[in-house]
Chains A and B, each alone.
Chain A
Amino acid sequence: MTQENRIKGGQIDRTKTLRFTFDGHPYTGHPGDTLASALLANGVRLMGRSFKYHRPRGPLSAGSEEPNAIVELRTGARQEPNTRATVAELFDGLEANSQNRFPSLKFDLMGINDRLSPFFAAGFYYKTFMWPAAFWEKIYEPIIRRAAGLGSLTREEDPDQYDKGFLHCDILIIGAGPAGLMATLTAARAGARVILADEDFRMGGRLNAETLTVGNHSGADWAEDTVRTLAQMPNVRLMPRTTVLGAMDHGIYSAVERVSDHLPIPAPGKPRQILWRIYSAHAILAAGATERPIAFENNDRPGILLAGSLRTYANRYAVAVGDRVAVFTNNDDGLRTATDLQAKGIDIAAVIDTRQEGDLLPGIRHLKGAQVIDTKGKLGLKSITIRHANGRSETLSVNALGVSGGWNPNLNIASHHRGRPVWNDAIHAFTPPTGGPKNLTAAGAAAGALSTHAALQTGAAQANAALEALGLKTHTPDLPKAEDAPLNLTPFWYVGEGKGRAWIDQQNDVTVKDVKLAKQENFTSVEHLKRYTTLGMATDQGKTGNILGLAIMAELTGRSIPQTGTTIYRPPYTPVAMGALAGRSRGPEFKPTRLTPSHKWAAEQGAIFVEVGMWLRAQWFPKAGETTWRQSVDREVLQTRASVGICDVTTLGKIDIQGCDAGAFLDRVYANTFSTLPIGKVRYGLMLREDGIVMDDGTTARMGENEWVMTTTTANAVPVFRHLEYVRQCLYPDMDVQLISTTEAWAQFSVAGPNARKLLQKVVDQDISDAAFPYMACGNITVCGGLRARLFRISFSGELAYEIAVPTRYGDALIREMMKAGEEFGAVAYGTESLGVMRVEKGHVAGNELNGQTTALNMGLGKMVSKKKDSIGMVLSQREGLNADDGLRLVGVKPVDPSKPLTAGSHFLDIGAAPVAANDGGWLTSVVYSPHLKSSIALGYLKNGTARIGQKMRAVNLLAKTEVEVEIVSPHFFDPEGDRLRG
C-alpha cells in the first residue's frame, strides 16, 4: 500500500519519505505526520482493541484525547506501551505494534468477551466470584489479571536519560493556538518574559486543522508567521512538544518537554524528556477545546471519528479517512467538516443534523432532525443507518463518519486547585471555575470563546490584564480579521433508539446502558457513577466521554448537568512518563554519594565499602588469604585491642558552636550539664527530644572559653543541626550562640589501642603523654611539622584512643602517614564492622539502640538526665509510662554455648515459655562476634533487664525457627572498669 488515502495540501513535507511498520507491516509517511495520520493515509483504520470487550477500534480523534488508537511504540528496552498513535510523531524506522489482542489485531480471541458482554455489565464483579473464598486468588483473579492491562513493559531498564529543570517567567501561556499566539505576541511586545508551551510538535492549534483565514492569510500561515516572529524575540521561549501537566501552588506549573520522542533514539548525552517546573507570575490557559461525541448504537467502529478530527486529518495531514463520508452533528461546527471535505473532493453522503432549525448547507445532502441509529462494519465502518425526521430509516454506505456533539473547553488545569467548573449555557459545556489557581486566566476556546476572532480577542485581552497586574505597559494590538461564527448548538447527547450498545468511554467500554444500570442501583452521584462504571478511568482520562456520562445521568435523574455534578481534574493533564518525573535521580545517581577523606586510600587497600546513609564507609579491609569477612574483622579487632587500629570517623556530624552563651545553650539541648566543662575537655552528652525520648548522643569538646565542637551520630547530623537552630532561634532568641556545620571541613580518624599514643606521638608535634593530654582532653595541635589539627582523647572502642582531625584535603595524606608510623606496631585499619564489634563489647549504644523509641533510662543512662536545670525533654522524660520499674533495660547477652550464633532481632522468652506475645521479654538489638570472648554477643532491651542479669533465657528467632539459650549479663563485656581507655 502506498498512502492510498493521501490527498493534496496539508502541512507535511512530501520531499522526504519516512518508513515505518505497524504490526510488522511496512508503510510510508512524511515528516509532519503522526503515526495515526500516516496509518490512515495508508488505509489502515483498525489500530487497537478496547479494554474490556476487545472491540476493534480505530482513532476517534487527532489529538491527546485519544481513547482508542493506542499502541506499543518502539521495541526492546525502549518499548513504550499505551502510546497514542494520534500524537506520536512519525520518524524514520518507527516500529509500532497493536496491543491487548491475541493472536492478532484483526482476529482477537478475547473478542469473545464482546459476545458475553451481557454478563459483564458495570460492576458485575462485585456481585460474584465470592465462592469458594479461596478461589479468588487462585482461579478468578489470575484470569482477570491476565486478561486486563493494556500494553506491556519489557522488564528491561529504560535506557534513556531524563532531565529536570526550572524555568522562570512573567507569563506562562499554555497552548499555541490563536488565543495563545495572540496572548504571547501581546505580552512579548510589552517586554514581558514569556514562555509559550504547546503539547503539539507544530504550534498553531486548530489553525493548522482548519481552512479558516486570519487577516489575509490562511490560519496556518498566520500561525507560522507569528511563531517565526516570536522566535526572534529574546524575551520569548517557545516550547513545542511541551505539555503543561499541572498547576501547583503559587504559580508553579509542571511541564514535560519531549525532547527526543520524535527521533529514533536520543542524541548522545541528550535526554528523552525534561520535566520542567515553571515559575510564573501569571499564566494564561489557552489550551483550546476538545470535541465530544454523541452516543449511538455501534458508534465505536473504526472510521467513526470526531468531526473536527476528520478535518484535522484532511487539512493538516492531507489524509482522507474515507472516500465517502457522513457527518453527524448537533452544531454548526460539525458542518465545516462536510464543507471542508467536499472542497477536498471527498464525497459527502449526508450531513445528519439533529437540529430542526437553521439553514441548509448548499450542495450537500443536509438532513435536519435526523439521527444515526446504527452502523455496520466489524473491522471498519461500512454503512450507517439513519432515522429521518419523518421517521423513515435509511442505510447509507460510507466508510467514514464524523461526529460532533459540541466542544468542551480544556479547562483541566484551571480546576487543579479543586475549583468547580461553571456550566455555560451558550456553548452547553463547562468553562473554567472562578476559584481557579491564583493568577491563572483563560483565553480562547479554553475559556469558552470558540470562534477564531474570540480566541484572538481574549488572548490579547488576557495578556493585557496580566501585563497590567505585572506593572508592564500594555497596548491593544490590531486584531487580524477572523471568523466569529456562533456554535448554534442544540444539546443532544445520545440516541435513545436501539437495543445495542452505545459507547461513552470507548477505551473502558462504558455504555449508555451501564449508566442506566448505575442509576438503577443508586450510584447516581457523579463520583459513584465514575467509580462503579469505570467511566473516565482509562488512559484518555475521560476527555471525550465523561461529559456524556454526566449528561445522560442528568437526563435519567431529571436534574440539570451542573446539579448532577461536575468533574474536577487532577494533574497530570495527559499521562506522563515516570522516567521524566524521576529525572537523573536513578540507579547509582538515585542519591548523592558521600566519600570519606580516606576513601581513595581505602579503595587502594581493597576495602569493602558499605552504604551508611549517603556515605560510603569502609566496612572491613580484607588481607590476602582471608576468605571470609569474619577473618578480616576478627583480625582488625584483635590487633586494635592488642596494639593499635585506625578508623575513619569523619562521617560523625561536627557542629561548631560559639558564643558567650554557648555553654548555657548546651545545657538546654543536652540532658546533662555542659556549662561547667573546663576548657580543653570533652564530655559525653545525651540529647533528648521534647517527648523525653533519646534523640542523639555524642561528645562535645570545649576548645575555648566560647568555642565548642559538638559531635553527633552520622545518621543524625542534619536533624541535630536543625534542632539546634530551632532551639537557638525559636526558643532562646537572645542567647549569643553561633552555629555552623564542620562535618566536611575536617578529616577525622580514630586511633585506638594500647599503642595509639605511641603511634600518634610520631605524627603529633606536641607532647601527648597522659599527663599532658589526659583522658577526655581536647585541644588544637599541629601534626607532621606544623599542620593545624585537633586532637580529642575519646574512645568508642574502650581502648586508649584518640580522634585526630586535620583539614579534609590532608586526610588522605594523614592516614598514609599514620599507617606508615604504625608499621612498627602492626597498626591496622579497621572498618565499620570492627567499630561495631568493639562498641558492643564495650556496651556503647548506637543506631540500633538509639531507635527513637528509647529513653535514657532504657539505656541505663537515666542518671544523666539532670533535673536541676531545664532541658529539652527533661519534663516529659519523667512521665510514668517511661519510668516503669519493669520497663526495658539495656543488657548484655551471651549464648550459654559459645559456639551458638545469636541473631539481632531475636526476642527474649523465658525458658519453657510459649512463643506468644504475652511472654515477649524484649529483643536483641545488636549482635556481633567478639573475637575477644570467642563468642557471639549481643546487646538487647529486656523488660526489667537489670534485675535479670545472671539469669538464663532464650533468644528466639521465629523467622528462622531457631533459638539459643542465653545468659543475661552486663552490657559492658569488655574492661568494665575502663582501665584501658585511661591507660
Chain B
Amino acid sequence: MIINHPLLGPRDAQEFTYLGDAALIDRPDGMAFPDATAAQDAFHDYLYLRDNPAGEHRELWFHEQGDRSWLVVTRNTVTHEITKVEFARDVARSRGRSK
C-alpha cells in the first residue's frame, strides 16, 4: 500500500507502523471520573471496543521509518483505497486535545 504523506508525498506503507482505530486519540481523562468504576467503564470502552467497519476507517499509522509523524489515514477496509491523510497532531487538536 501507499500512504500519501501530507508533506512527503506517496510513501510505501511498509515504512509505517500500524496502531489501529483513530478513536484512540479520544482518550478519556483518568482523573475526570467520579469513581473508579465509572473510570474503568469508560477506559474499557475506549481501549477494547471497536467499530471495525467494513468500509471507511480512520486509523493511526506511525511513520516509523520516515519522519516519525503519526498520521490519521482514512482508508476503506474492503478496497484499501485511501481517501485522506492527516497529521494526527492536527486531528487531536481539532478534537479538543491540548496538554
Which of chain A's residues have a CB closer than 8 A to the CB of B27? 690, 731
Q: Does B50 contact A (CB under 8 A)?
A: no
In the bound complex, do residue B44 and residue A876 qualify as a contact, i.e. CB atoms below 8 Å apart?
yes
Interface string of B1-39 (1 = CB under 8 A from A): 110000000101100010100001101111101001001
- Hey, what's the 0/1 contact readout for B35-79 against A, CB within 8 Å counting as 1? 010011011100100000000000010101000111000000001
A664: chain B residues at CB < 8 Å are 99
Answer whether residue B97 sits at the interface, using C-beta atoms and an 8 A cutoff: yes
The reply to whether A249 and B1 contact each other, CB–CB distance below 8 Å, is: yes
Which one of B10, B39, B64, B70 contacts A729 once the chains associate, using CB atoms below 8 Å? Answer: B70
Docked-complex contact B93 and A725, CB < 8 angstroms: no
Pick from A250, A726, A879: contact of B19, CB under 8 Å: A726
Q: Which residue of A lies closest to B87 (CB)?
A: A729
Q: What is the bound-complex CA distance between A879 and B60, given in angstroms?
A: 27
Evaluate whether A871 and B30 lie within 8 angstroms (CB atoms) in the complex, with A250-B2, A664-B99, A726-B19 already known: yes
Give every chain B residue within 8 A of A869 (Cβ-Cβ): 31
Interface string of A848-891 (1 = CB under 8 A from B): 00000000000000000000011100111011000000000000
B92 at the interface (CB under 8 A from A): yes
Shortest Cβ distance from B72 into A: residue: A730
Distance in angstroms between the alpha carbons of A729 and B98 in the assembled complex: 10
Contact segment of A79-87, A400-408, A732-740, A951-959:
A732-740
Contact A733 B97 (CB under 8 A): yes
Taking a contact as CB atoms under 8 Å apart, the answer to whether B47 and A876 are in contact is yes
> Which of B70, B82, B87, B92 has the most A CB atoms < 10 Å from its CB?
B70
Distance between Cα atoms of A248 and B80 in the complex (Å): 10
A interface residues, how many (CB within 8 angstroms):
33
Query: Is A844 interfacial (CB 8 A cutoff)?
Result: no
Cα separation A251 to B79 with both chains bound (whole Å)? 13
A661 beta carbon closer than 8 Å to chain B: yes
**Contact between B92 and A729, CB atoms less than 8 A apart:** yes
Complex Cα spacing A661 to B98, Å: 12
- Say whether A875 contacts B25, CB under 8 Å: no
Shortest A879–chain B CB gap in Å is: 6
A655 CA / B49 CA spacing, docked (Å): 32
User: Is B81 a contact partner of A731 (Cβ separation < 8 A)?
Assistant: no
Contacts of B62 in A (CB 8 A): 722, 725-726
Q: Given the known inter-chain contacts A438-B81, A878-B36, please indicate yes or no for A731 contacting B44, CB distance below 8 A.
A: no
Q: Is the CB of B89 within 8 A of A875?
A: no
Contacting B24 at CB < 8 Å: which of A251, A730, A735? A730
Q: A725-B68, A725-B70, A876-B44 are in contact. Are A730 and B25 (CB under 8 A)?
A: yes
CB distance from B27 to the nearest CB of A (A): 5
A252 at the interface (CB under 8 A from B): yes
User: In the complex the two chains form, what is the Cα distance from A722 to B60 in whole Å?
Assistant: 12
**Closest chain A residue, CB of each to CB of B30:** A870
Note all chain B residues with C-beta closer than 8 A to A252: 1-2, 12
Whether B99 pairs with A732 at a CB distance below 8 angstroms is: yes
What distance in Å separates the Cβ of B3 from its nearest Cβ neighbour in chain A? 9
Q: Any chain B CB within 8 A of the CB of A279? A: yes
A729–B91 Cα distance when bound, in Å, is 10
Q: Enumerate chain A residues within 8 angstroms of B12, measured Cβ to Cβ.
A: 252, 277, 279
B92: chain A residues within 8 A (beta carbon): 729-731, 733
In the bound complex, do residue B30 and residue A722 qualify as a contact, i.e. CB atoms below 8 Å apart?
no
Contacts of B1 in A (CB 8 A): 248-250, 252
| A279→B99 CA distance, assembly (Å) | 40
Output the nearest chain B residue to A664 by Cβ-Cβ distance.
B99
What distance in Å separates the Cβ of B4 from its nearest Cβ neighbour in chain A? 9
B44 vs chain A, min Cβ distance (A): 7
Of the residues B17, B70, B80, B97, contact of A250 by C-beta under 8 Å: B80
Which residue from B17, B70, B98 sits with its C-beta under 8 Å from A730? B70
Give A452 Cβ to nearest chain B Cβ, in Å: 36
Q: Do A729 and B43 contact each other (CB < 8 Å), given the known contacts A722-B17, A874-B30, A878-B36? A: no
A960 to B17, CA, bound (A): 41
- Given the interface pairs A722-B64, A725-B68, A870-B30, the reply to whether A732 lies near B97 with Cβ below 8 Å is yes
With A and B bound together, what is the CA distance between A733 and B25 in angstroms?
A: 10
Closest Cβ–Cβ distance, residue B39 to chain A (whole Å): 5
Q: Are B40 and A876 in contact (CB under 8 A)?
A: yes
Instruction: Give chain B residues whose Cβ lies under 8 Å from the Cβ of A732.
Output: 97-99
Interface size on B, residues (CB 8 A): 41
Q: Which residues of A contact B31 (CB under 8 A)?
A: 869-870
Asked if A691 is at the interface of the complex by the 8 Å CB criterion, the answer is yes
The distance from the CB of B49 to the nearest CB of chain A, in whole angstroms, is 13
- Nearest A-chain residue to B28, judged by Cβ: A875
Q: State whether A870 and B29 are in contact (beta carbons under 8 Å apart), knowing that A722-B62, A733-B98, A876-B40 are contacts in the complex.
A: yes
Q: How far is the CB of B59 from chain A (nearest CB, A)?
A: 12
Contacts A726-B70, A734-B98, A875-B30 given; does A690 touch B2 at CB 8 Å: no
* Chain A residues whose C-beta falls within 8 Å of the C-beta of B90 in the assembled complex: 733
- When distances are taken between beta carbons in the complex, the residues of chain B under 8 Å from A735 are 99
Of A661, A739, A875, the residue contacting B43 (CB under 8 A) is A875
Q: Is the CB of A875 within 8 A of B39?
A: yes
- Chain B residues with CB under 8 Å of A725's CB are 62, 68, 70
- Complex Cα distance A836/B39, Å? 39
Minimum Cβ distance to chain A for residue B22 (Å): 8
Question: What is the minimal beta-carbon distance from B24 to any residue of chain A, in angstroms?
Answer: 7
Produce 1/0 per residue, A716-747, CB < 8 A to B: 00100010011001111111000100000000
Smallest CB separation, A189 vs chain B (Å): 26
Contacts of B28 in A (CB 8 A): 875
Q: Which residues of B contact A871 (CB under 8 A)?
A: 30
Find residues 911-952 in chain A having any chain B CB closer than 8 Å to their own CB: none
Given the contacts A734-B98, A734-B99, A875-B30, A729 and B2 also touching, CB distance less than 8 Å: no
Residues of A within 8 A of B60 (CB): 726, 730
Report the separation of the CA atoms of residues A661 and B69 in the bound assembly, to the nearest whole angstrom: 19
Residues of A within 8 A of B29 (CB): 870
The distance from the CB of A188 to the nearest CB of chain B, in whole angstroms, is 23
Bound state CA distance, A874 and B64, in angstroms?
A: 27
Bound complex: CA A548 to CA B88 (Å): 53
Residues on the B chain within 8 Å of A739, using CB: 68
CB distance from A563 to the nearest CB of B (A): 25
Q: Which residue of B lies closest to A727 (CB)?
A: B27
A690 touches B25 (CB 8 A): no
Whole-angstrom CA separation of A961 from B44 in the bound complex:
43
Report the Cα distance A870→B42, complex, angstroms.
Answer: 14
Docked CA distance A735–B47 (Å): 23
Are A730 and B89 also in contact (CB < 8 A) when A249-B1, A691-B47, A722-B62 are?
A: yes
Q: How far is the CB of B33 from chain A (nearest CB, A)?
A: 8
Residue of A nearest to B60 (CB): A730
Interface centre among B2, B30, B88, B93 (most CB of A within 10 A): B30
CA distance A279 to B30 in the complex (A): 45
Q: How far is the CB of B90 from chain A (nearest CB, A)?
A: 8
Task: Check if B2 sits within 8 Å of A279, measured CB to CB.
Answer: yes
With A and B bound together, what is the CA distance between A885 and B60 in angstroms? 38
Compute how far the CA of A863 lies from the CA of B77 in the bound complex, rounded to whole angstroms: 43
Please determine whether B40 and A878 come into contact, CB atoms closer than 8 angstroms: yes
Q: In whole Å, how far is B62's beta carbon from the nearest beta carbon of chain A?
A: 6
Determine the chain A residues whose CB is within 8 A of the CB of B36 once the complex forms. 875, 878
Which residues on the A side are within 8 Å of B19 (C-beta)? 726
Collect the chain B residues with CB atoms within 8 Å of residue A879's CB. Answer: 40
Question: Told that A722-B17, A729-B89, A878-B39 touch, could you supply 12 new A-B pairs with CB distance under 8 A?
Answer: A249-B80, A718-B64, A729-B87, A730-B60, A730-B88, A730-B92, A730-B97, A731-B92, A734-B97, A734-B99, A739-B68, A870-B31
Residues of chain B having any CB pair with chain A under 8 Å: 1-2, 10, 12-13, 17, 19, 24-25, 27-31, 33, 36, 39-40, 42-44, 47, 60, 62, 64, 68-70, 79-82, 87-90, 92-93, 97-99
Enumerate the 6 nearest inter-chain pairs by beta-carbon distance, A residue then B residue, closest first: A870-B30, A250-B2, A734-B98, A249-B1, A733-B92, A733-B89
List 18 A–B pairs whose Cβ atoms lie within 8 Å, in order of A's numbering.
A248-B1, A249-B1, A249-B80, A279-B2, A279-B10, A279-B12, A690-B27, A690-B43, A729-B69, A729-B92, A731-B27, A733-B90, A733-B97, A734-B97, A734-B99, A875-B33, A876-B43, A878-B39
